[in-house]
Amino acid sequence: KYKPTSGEITFNKSHEEGTLITLNWENGYVIQHEVDFDAVDENSMLISFTVSAEKINYGNSAYEGLWPSA
């Protein structure tokens, strides 16, 4: 059985120290996940995912859906 998760990802600034933005979620599911790797290209790895969650915070923005209780 699948269980909802909470998670957080911190995106760092690319050319200096520090946090660019933070994404976190509560009561959510990763519904899609993909990894692309190309050893020749300078941007050799791309990781993408889709999160469906009841609560999502992205920097100063927030989303709160109304999900039915179990």
Residue 41 domain-assigned (yes or no): yes
Percent of the chain with pLDDT over 90: 70
Percent of the chain with pLDDT over 70: 99
Per-residue confidence band for 70, with pLDDT thresholds at 50, 70 and 90: low
- Domain boundaries, position 21: 5-62
HSE of 48, CA atoms in CB hemisphere, 13 A: 4
Write b or e for each residue in 27-41: b if 16 or more Cβ atoms lie within 10 A of its Cβ, otherwise e.
Answer: ebeeeeeeeeeeeee
Tell whether pTM > 0.85. no
Residue 69 domain-assigned (yes or no): no
- Any idea what DSSP says for residue 69? P
Residue 56 domain-assigned (yes or no): yes
Q: Look at the chain and report how many structural domains it folds into.
A: 1
The encoded tokens of residue 70 equal 């179990």
Residue 13 domain-assigned (yes or no): yes
Average pLDDT along the chain: 91
Residue 16 domain-assigned (yes or no): yes
Per-residue confidence band for 8, with pLDDT thresholds at 50, 70 and 90: very high
The amino acid present at 2, given as its one-letter code, is Y
Cβ–Cβ < 8 Å for 13, 44 = no
